[in-house]
Structure 1
Amino acid sequence: MTTHVWDYLPEFERERADILDAVDTVFRSGQLILGASVRGFEQEFAAYHGIKHCVALDNGTNAVTLALQSLGVGPGDEVITVANTAAPTVVAIDGAGATPVFVDVRPADYLMDTTQVAEAITPRTKAIVPVHLYGQCVDLAPLRALAAEHGLLIVEDCAQSHGARHHGEPAGTLGDAAAFSFYPTKVLGAYGDGGAVLTGSAEADRNLRRLRYYGMEHGYYVTEVPGHNSRLDEVQAEILRRKLRRLDDYIAARQRVARRYEEALADLAAPGGLELPAVSPGNNHVYYLYVLRHPQRETILERLREQDIALNVSYRWPVHLMSGFAHLGYAKGSLPVTERLAGQIFSLPMYPCLPTGLQDKVIGALRTVLGSL
């Protein structure tokens, strides 16, 4: 049997009764769209973060797009972000009509290099989208200072950081708005697509509720600007309500898996060789992914495949070099750290119900391969 980086079936077997009860609850409710389950999840997800407003949406990509639009970001504006991220971050900025502008990431933790942001600001800059990558937070303090100085907005991309904290503050509560994805692999994952935006702004909340419903407030009448059909499904909302109660348990389980990896591989780590994940000061890392780095990655992956161990690379293709974004004008070499990482990083299996035996298999195989290089 091939070992993969993620598998929902062990968790489903453990939680099957609750998941099926969630489905039954919705089907018996008499309301399948924007009903009690969506409202309940919005209230509970906002309360978990200690923030006023949550608007549940159909996916994380639209969460970024609608968050930007709700704050007035659109055509003619520039949005600063990173290229070491999943393409949907940048697709979403483009979807809002804005122009993505990239800065590089730090070589230690792969997060936005906030020291480069000031130089990237132009008269057209309207917002910054820091990506809380792999399960830990960008330090937003310098970005908030820049935002205050230049009148900019901050929209956090929290697709990979549910429950993560920076100096005790939850990811998603430190900017003007925050976008979440509930894609099944996420720390808080649905059984299909889902997303949400958190914000402390009542105006942004009202805008988001219009934008997710065609631009309508009451009946079939578009009040201000056309919106989208971006509603979270009632079934997914009810499943997420149940799973939200277990989010801290999921995080603790992921952290246990991460500790076992670190204990098993620490003696092989060396500069210029295997690099383990670095947790930045003040961060509580929730390990959406457990990302390693090695200059001979392709050899490692090939030899592990021979042992039926299939690992992921997040991300093999930097967004700024994708042909779909060639119009932005970034040449190879323009983001050297991002480009170097793209050739060296890879992810080990990481999910709360990862069987110990499978983790041991991966550790043993990886140690053997590393020892032969």
Structure 2
Amino acid sequence: MTTTSTPHRLAGATLVAALASTGVIALAPSTALAVPPGGYGDLVEAVSPSVVFIEVTGKEAGMEPAGGLPEGIPEEFRKRFEKMLPKNGGAAPRKGVGSGFIISGDGQIVTNHHVVDGADSVTVKLADGRSFNATVIGSDPLTDVALLQAEIDETLPVVVFGESDSMRAGDEVVAVGNPFGLGGTVTSGIISAMSRDIHSGPYDDFIQTDAAINRGNSGGPLFNNEGEVIGVNTAIFSPDGGSVGIGFAVPSDLVQTVVADLQDDGEITRGWLGVQIRPMSDEVASVLGYDGPKGAVIEAVSADSPAKSGGLQTGDIILSFNGTQIEELRDLTRAVADTAPEQSAEVEILRKGEMITREVTVGTRGKQDA
């Protein structure tokens, strides 16, 4: 069975994965490319040699029933269902396509985790027709970022990262990728919104764009007008699998951090606190005199966790972690994840109307940890 890269999905609507530690990557600055009134031709000509098209053969053969699973089924349910299906050793391997971009001359390539998840073999193709085998250095399902290494004996052209935090709603962007396996395709649009939480994971902080993004664009770059990568195209909101002008990209600032960690040893190291949290209710916020809910309310503290050792309790409201103000739940998730394991962090909490400061030693998040 042959499939394209399938998009992430949200409950209540179809969100198709179209496509889309602590260090940062040091890359050479790019030369600004002014976009002429006539279009993006110069920019596209400059960046296209560094955008690759990815073909993947999957290890999991014959797992889907005839015809595949129903369209629109949430991805999390799809994965659970697939695990329950018997493997058919005689079935042909699944194949998929996606996009990516080269970030180092020796052949390191960024793409989406979901593009290469379960890959048995990966082939990358350049716009000039050259083709190389690649291996997966590492990938991070929580941010949907993966890092590949092309098997080459030559120097490849690269693109550079820009600062996603400097982008604003209304700024022009260009997407380049491999939609529906068609090869180098360019679309343009604007940033529709920043810091979108689409409830796909604990680190949601997406750039929303109306640049057309479709199946197969997964892992491809989203460029600013200077030809810098400011996002990795990851998902679309769509009732039928095609672009309706609502696409999402992982911001480059986050991508650089994840990739830098993967470059080290192929693994992601994140801090762990060991609490279950929920938002503050409107009623509690009103009683406390706040304009609206803020902070993270601890619902449960895991045994033998950093939170337990640090004296945090069920019912505590975390308002600040290691200097980061906690306005919503994802603020705490990110602040903890970005804190190096074994590092001490001050936690400001509200307990029964009293402000208290506790010091915790952050642990290492494992795959099983929430």
Fold match (TM-score > 0.5): no
State the TM-score, normalizing by the size of structure 2. 0.28
More helix by share: 1
The structure with more strand, counted as a fraction of residues: 2
- TM-score in terms of structure 1 length: 0.28
Greater length-normalized contact order (CA 8 Å, ≥ 6 residues apart) = 1
